[in-house]
Structure 1
Amino acid sequence: MSDQLTLAAETRDRVGKGASRALRRDGRVPAVIYGQNQEPTSIHLEAKALTKALATGHFMNSVIMIEGAGSGAIRTLPKDVAFHPVSDRPIHVDFLRIGEHTAVTVSVPVVFTDEEECPGIKAGGVLNVTRYEVELVVDASEIPTEISISLAGRQVGDSIHISDVTLPGGAMPAIADRDFAIATIVPPTVPTAADDAADIEAGVPTLDESLDAAANSDEPEADKG
């Protein structure tokens, strides 16, 4: 299950571009909390604390408790983080208010295991991943950190669909109208005559030419005496 994180915040009296720029100069990041049929709450967070939380790698699918923006801690789920296009620093965050057992939609990373027990990969096949994350509808108190998919017994040509995956208890795919693929074990790429012709046109040496060049480079230089 994903960890619960806590961030300290202060409410914002002023909003707008000028006020936001002033906050960022002071090492703060403007943010807003919305949802549950309540008025949005404008807040700001310490940039260093937010950056540390982002570095966990599972910030977007963790429950974030916001403290200091009301009479008690506010349970939220991050919905969007905006980053500076040059420095890549966080410049704004949107949080969604949630209850302890609210059903939420989150993107959960996919992790593949047991490659050493996969006949398809041992035979030279390549794992072609089409979805590195899967959107799930889960209880806010039971958000998984990752979805683990075993490759044991998979052959070249096998596709792994969401129906093949054992999801955590109570979790359901957000896409419910089709059995979508997550990954396929594809055959190894074999160079074709067209590939060889394209390499020759581009001046890429063939295998035989490369071997000849390597052999010649190993020959001793002629006696100059």
Structure 2
Amino acid sequence: MSTVEVFKVQIRPQTGGGASRSLRRSGMIPAILYGGEKENISLMVDPRDVEKGLHQSGFYSRIFELDVGDKKEQALVREVQFHPVTDRPVHMDFLRVRKDSKIHVAVPVHFLNENQCPGLKQGGILNIVLHDLDVTCAAGSIPAELTVDLTGLEIGAIIHTDVLQLPKGVVISHPDRDNTLATIVAPKISQGDEEVAEIEETATTEEPAVAEASKES
């Protein structure tokens, strides 16, 4: 299950568009904590902490502890907004949760034992369709990850969500959708490879004819 980690936040002294722009110029970005039938709290965070978290698996499915004034709040990262040009984070949303809160969350899917997969050993390619899977569960029971064992799978295999061993209390949020996780496909043959194969095949079929002509002469 996901562990609770501390995320550094500070209460934002001012709100509004002008204050947010000024905050970004100072090197921080605005954030908000909402939900849980409590008042929204305007926060500010260090964008370097956000970027660090974004490079870690399960950033959006991890419960964080926030020190908000003299209180501690537990929350999930619900959204990070990015600058359209620089692609840097410019705003962040936190959702309050309790351990027994039922929530929808995207959990990362990891694929194991590639070295024991005959299809990949034969040159096949693992085509991942879903890197994350939407599940519903209590906030205190969010899996850190979901794993798929590739052992024994051949080229042409289609991996569906029914192979997953879901923890107790965790269900797929949209079971009616096509929840294909991945497929193992044959390697693509480039046009150059096809041309080489055709030349080799032509040369092979012409050799007997050349040999026969030599005998007749």
**Match in the other structure for 2:169:** 170
Pair 1:8 & 2:8 matched: yes
1:206 is displaced (CA, Å) by 4.9
Q: How does 1:45-194 map to 2 (within 5 A)?
A: 45-69=45-69, 71-178=70-177, 180-190=179-189
C-alpha contact 1:109 1:147 (8 A) present in aligned 2? yes
- Matched residue type, 2:3: D
- Matched residue type, 1:65: E
C-alpha contact 1:163 1:179 (8 A) present in aligned 2? no
**Match in the other structure for 2:29:** 29
1:99 is displaced (CA, Å) by 0.6
Q: Structure 1's 42 and 126: CA in aligned 2 closer, same or farther, altered over 3 A?
A: same
Q: Structure 1's 127 and 39: CA in aligned 2 closer, same or farther, altered over 3 A?
A: same
C-alpha contact 1:9 1:45 (8 A) present in aligned 2? yes
* RMSD over aligned Cα atoms: 2.6
Runs of 4+ with >4 A deviation: none
Deviations 1:125-157 (A, max 9, x none): 222211111111122122222211111111222
Taking structure 2 as the reference length, what is the TM-score of the superposition?
A: 0.80
Taking structure 1 as the reference length, what is the TM-score of the superposition?
A: 0.77
C-alpha contact 1:128 1:185 (8 A) present in aligned 2? yes
Number of residue equivalences? 199
1:178 is displaced (CA, Å) by 4.1
- Matched residue type, 1:159: I
Deviations 1:65-88 (A, max 9, x none): 11124x411111111001223333
1:50 is displaced (CA, Å) by 3.5
- Provide structure 2 residue ranges, at least 5 long, that are not aligned to the other structure: 201-217
Task: Determine the C-alpha separation between the residues in 1 that align with 2:122 and 2:150.
Answer: 13
Deviations 1:164-199 (A, max 9, x none): 1112332111112245211111233345xxx46xx9
